[in-house]
Structure 1
Amino acid sequence: MNVYEVAARLPDISVLRDRCRALAMLEAIVCPEWEFRYYSFDASWAPAKEMASMRDGSGDAYSIVFGPAGAFIRGFDHESPMSPVVVGGLWPGLVDTVPEVFQAHVDEPAFSFDGRLEATFVLWRQHHDDHWRTGTMELPPHAGHRESPDGAELLTILCDPGPNIYLAFAADYYEVALDTVAVSRLWTLHPLDGTTVTALNPDLTLADVRQDAEQTGYPVTHPRTIGQSDPLAGAT
């Protein structure tokens, strides 16, 4: 899928945020070593902002910032013909129409390389929007090593309402057959408990992943979580 096809399939901001948190929590349980995880979520990335991210260790990545203005997505396929390294700058039209409320993310050093945004696809959605938006571009005919020339298919896992893509990913990448029921519980943000953790990784307990749950803002069945506020919940 290219960026236009992804924009038509991505869920609204609140659902996307939940899926990102679920992915990060699944990764924390399946892969305790943070440096080897694909997906992560930082609920305190910046004041009033959260960030979901993906990195594959080979140069491909995406970052999704959730904040008061809405959500901003930048992704990078390192072998895309739209790469700034290939083009010598950002692909024409990629960020030309990004609203001012998201301009700081276009200029964010954490998303940049050699002083420019490291991106081959960009999407955004303000809370008052009824769909995801992206720049007006003419995509190149060659797709590099992916089906889409811009690499936006990196977001495919977030377009699926169920956990099947993650189950297939874990089987391929981690070489584990995960408990489908346990994965489904996390995918729907069912409060985390020890039984679910152990079903996904027999070597871990709820205590082992509590800090990861706090970092992602994932709900946990523990008295300490009762009454905790979620500053971005219901923002849409």
Structure 2
Amino acid sequence: MTVHDTARQLPAIPVLRDHCRSMAMLEAILSPEWEYRYYSFDARWSEAEAMASMRDGSGDEYSIVFSAAGAYVRGFAHESPMSPYTEDGPWPGVLDDVPAVFQSCVEEPAFSDKDGMPVVTACIWREAGDDHWKTGTIDFPEAGTGDPDGAADLFGLLVDRSAEAFQRWAEEYYEASVDLVAVRHVLSSRPLTEAVVHALNPEITPADLAEDVTEIGYPLD
């Protein structure tokens, strides 16, 4: 699986945005300490943009910028043979075809290293008027990997958006059982209730999540 396969399986921008927001809300409930979360969502990343992000703590990450222009997805798998540190720059084709409307994302300091090099192995974008997601024309390395750009691992829960997929991931990561009905409730962007929050984490209440709800932009009703 490569970024090309991922692009064919991503949903429309509003659906992806809602899914990312819901995953961040689930993580806020499961992990009150922000630094231990994989998935985050900042509804006010800038005056005109929201951003979803993933960081696994081992060097892999993605960022998704949502704006009036559309959505820009950047992924980085640190062990990928397509790492910019292998070629001393982004792999040919990964960023070459990104349209001008997303150039600010390509050049965003938060997505680059201290020397200004974009930290990316996979890139997908979709302008507001597009009917599908797009990627660059890429000649992938042949060296024995079915996931050369890291897309399969990076974007797995964006491709399989089922409650069961999130439950499996969360139970493995947190080494605890995770209530499937509650996961399904939050992934449907339904308002948080005492029962749902308690099912996921009996040590907190909806009131404890007020700041997270505001930052994430999770719907209140």
Whether the TM-score (by the shorter chain) exceeds 0.5 is yes
Amino acid at match of 1:32: P
Amino acid at match of 2:211: Q
- What SS class does the counterpart of residue 23 from structure 1 fall into? helix
Partner residue, 1:133: 134
What's the offset of the Cα at 1:143?
Answer: 5.5
- What SS class does the counterpart of residue 220 from structure 1 fall into? coil
Matches within 5 A, 1:88-127: 88-113=88-113, 114-127=115-128
Partner residue, 2:208: 208
Give the RMSD, CA atoms, in angstroms: 1.0
Report if aligned partners of 1:143, 1:150 keep a CA contact under 8 Å in 2. no
Partner residue, 2:26: 26
Following the alignment from structure 2 to structure 1, what is the Cα–Cα distance between the partners of residues 176 and 14? Answer: 30
User: Is 2:76 aligned against 1:76?
Assistant: yes
**Superposed CA offset, 1:139-160 (max 9, x none):** 111366xx41001111110112
Following the alignment from structure 2 to structure 1, what is the Cα–Cα distance between the partners of residues 140 and 177? Answer: 37
Following the alignment from structure 1 to structure 2, what is the Cα–Cα distance between the partners of residues 5 and 190? Answer: 30
Partner residue, 2:44: 44
Following superposition, which runs of at least 4 residues in structure 1 exceed 3 angstroms of deviation? Answer: none
**Superposed CA offset, 1:121-154 (max 9, x none):** 000001111110000011111366xx41001111
- What SS class does the counterpart of residue 44 from structure 1 fall into? coil
Partner residue, 1:60: 60
Structure 1 residues 177 and 51: alpha-carbon distance in aligned structure 2, compared to 1, 3 A threshold? same
Q: Tell me, which stretches of 5 or more residues in structure 1 are unaligned?
A: 222-236
The sequence identity of aligned pairs, in percent, is: 53
Following the alignment from structure 1 to structure 2, what is the Cα–Cα distance between the partners of residues 49 and 100? Answer: 17
Residues paired across the two proteins, number: 219
**Superposed CA offset, 1:60-102 (max 9, x none):** 0000000010000000000001001111111011111111000
What's the offset of the Cα at 1:161?
Answer: 3.6
- What SS class does the counterpart of residue 119 from structure 1 fall into? coil
Q: Tell me, which stretches of 5 or more residues in structure 2 are unaligned?
A: none
TM-score (norm 1): 0.91
